Amino acid sequence: MKEYTVAILGATGAVGTQMLACLEEQEFPVGKIKLLASARSAGKTLSFRGEEVVIEEATPAAFEGCDIVLGAADDAIAKQLLPAAVEAGATVVDNSHAFRMDPEVPLVIPEINADDVSWHKGIISNPNCATIIALVPTWPLHKVAGVKRMIVSTYQAASGAGAPGMAELEAQIAAMGREEAIPEPKAFAAQLVSNLIPQIGGFDDEGYTSEEMKLQNEGRKIMHLPELAVCCTCVRVPVLRSHSESVTLEFEGDITLEEAREALAGAPGVKLVDDRGAESAHDRFPMPIDTSDQDLIWVGRLRRDISNPEAARGITFWCCGDQIRKGAATNAVQIAKLLV
């Protein structure tokens, strides 16, 4: 089997370190791995398949000889460096927002629009994490009755803000345990422990945040539904890992609860955990504590939307998924597998 030279840009971050683990777990045919990060990390090492790999400073020249580059850095660094990777002949799968809405760049969730990979011109984007977690279970229901409107509230973990976000919540939890003053927040706008922060990203003129508009704009592109209507509220919650979302869908056609349950039970990437009678809460519905560090989107609390006047056309559910895995690294490695 052909083996590939694979680089990770941002290899030391929350997503980058998970990508390295996913390449190993998914047995991606890596011949050579290149780990790229800032000058601060150059010379340190990370382990891959039991061997220590030295991290290099990310520069345009570092992409020479790469077949595939997985991007796990922020928007500015992605824009600055990834065009050089394409010029060097690599195909890029990028996690940042930088190229997602570029009409020349496919935006892919393999369970939904794997075929879009075919028209890439060097860069393929990985969607926003909360968007992936909402759309993986929405897609099989869309195939039954055609979704036309989504009302979504997200409960997003601290690690969605990367390694610094996770470290900040851990430091706040530790300070609270020692009954010390909570350190001044840096990664988030306010203290997160014992709190909820209903703002992720900047506000637009309508009062929606950039994170909230990603679900509408990326959702339309991924599902090829340019008219999809979305109303989303994104909230940062004091959970370390795994996002949760409340999703209410309105459909063009009728869908029974049984049809919805059947579609979700057989859908790729989905695990149905929906048993109101179960003795343990862990078997009754998904919770982020159970969905961390695994690849499926767990769906539960499936019920009819009793506020929808057309009773057969509204479904509501709760879902949880690990946003560093399926919301980022796992999805990116799945895309890379489509390329080989």
Ligand X SMILES: NC(=O)c1ccc[n+]([C@@H]2O[C@H](COP(=O)([O-])OP(=O)(O)OC[C@H]3O[C@@H](n4cnc5c(N)ncnc54)[C@H](OP(=O)(O)O)[C@@H]3O)[C@@H](O)[C@H]2O)c1
201 three-state secondary structure: coil
Contact call for residue 77 and ligand X (CB under 6 A): yes
Q: Which residue has the tokens 């479904």?
A: 315
Shortest distance (Å) from residue 12 CB to ligand X: 4
Candidate segments 25-33, 117-125, 162-170, 293-301, binder of ligand X by CB under 6 A:
162-170
70 three-state secondary structure: strand
Q: Which two tokens stand for residue 14?
A: 């929350």
Spatial separation of the C-alpha atoms in residues 235 and 153, rounded to whole Å: 7
Shortest distance (Å) from residue 291 CB to ligand X: 13
Contact call for residue 162 and ligand X (CB under 6 A): yes
**Dihedral sign, CA of 229, 233, 239, 240?**
positive
Catalytic residue (one of 66, 129, 234, 319): 129
Contact call for residue 91 and ligand X (CB under 6 A): no
- List 84, 88, 163, 167, residue binding ligand X (CB under 6 A): 163
Number of residues that bind ligand X (CB under 6 A): 28
Instruction: Check if 319 is active-site.
Output: no
**Dihedral sign, CA of 214, 215, 216, 219?**
positive
Contact call for residue 164 and ligand X (CB under 6 A): yes
- List 6, 13, 113, 236, residue binding ligand X (CB under 6 A): 13
**Dihedral sign, CA of 229, 266, 284, 331?**
negative
Shortest distance (Å) from residue 229 CB to ligand X: 24
Which residue's Cβ lies closest to ligand X?
Answer: 13
Q: Pick between residue 14 and residue 193 the one whose CB is nearest to ligand X.
A: 14
Q: Pick between residue 163 and residue 312 the one whose CB is nearest to ligand X.
A: 163
142 three-state secondary structure: helix
CA 165 to chain centre: 16
Contact call for residue 291 and ligand X (CB under 6 A): no
Candidate segments 103-111, 116-124, 138-146, 319-327, binder of ligand X by CB under 6 A:
319-327
Q: Beta strands 314-321 and 243-251: pairing type?
A: antiparallel
Question: 39, 59 in Cβ contact below 8 A?
Answer: no
Question: 317, 237 in Cβ contact below 8 A?
Answer: no
Question: 308, 335 in Cβ contact below 8 A?
Answer: no
Contact call for residue 321 and ligand X (CB under 6 A): no
- Could you give the residue ranges of the DSSP H alpha helices within the chain? 14-25, 75-87, 110-113, 129-145, 162-177, 210-223, 257-265, 281-284, 288-291, 330-339
Question: 213, 193 in Cβ contact below 8 A?
Answer: no
Shortest distance (Å) from residue 265 CB to ligand X: 27
- List 6, 287, 328, 333, residue binding ligand X (CB under 6 A): 328
Candidate segments 6-14, 114-122, 173-181, 268-276, binder of ligand X by CB under 6 A:
6-14
Residue closest to 168 by CA, chosen among 151, 187, 146: 187
Spatial separation of the C-alpha atoms in residues 16 and 42, rounded to whole Å: 15
Contact call for residue 10 and ligand X (CB under 6 A): yes
- List 96, 138, 172, 242, residue binding ligand X (CB under 6 A): 96
Instruction: Check if 129 is active-site.
Output: yes
Spatial separation of the C-alpha atoms in residues 22 and 14, rounded to whole Å: 12
Binding mask 17-56 for ligand X (x = CB under 6 A): --------------------xx-xx---------------
Task: Centre a 10 Å sphere on the Cβ of residue 26 and count the other Cβ atoms it contains.
Answer: 14
Q: Which residue has the tokens 């509501």?
A: 316
Candidate segments 73-81, 82-90, 193-201, 247-255, binder of ligand X by CB under 6 A:
73-81
Catalytic residue (one of 97, 243, 319, 320): 243
Which residues of this protein are in contact with ligand X, per CB under 6 A?
10-16, 37-38, 40-41, 58, 72-74, 77, 95-96, 129, 159-160, 162-164, 323-324, 327-328
**Which are the catalytic amino acids?**
129, 243
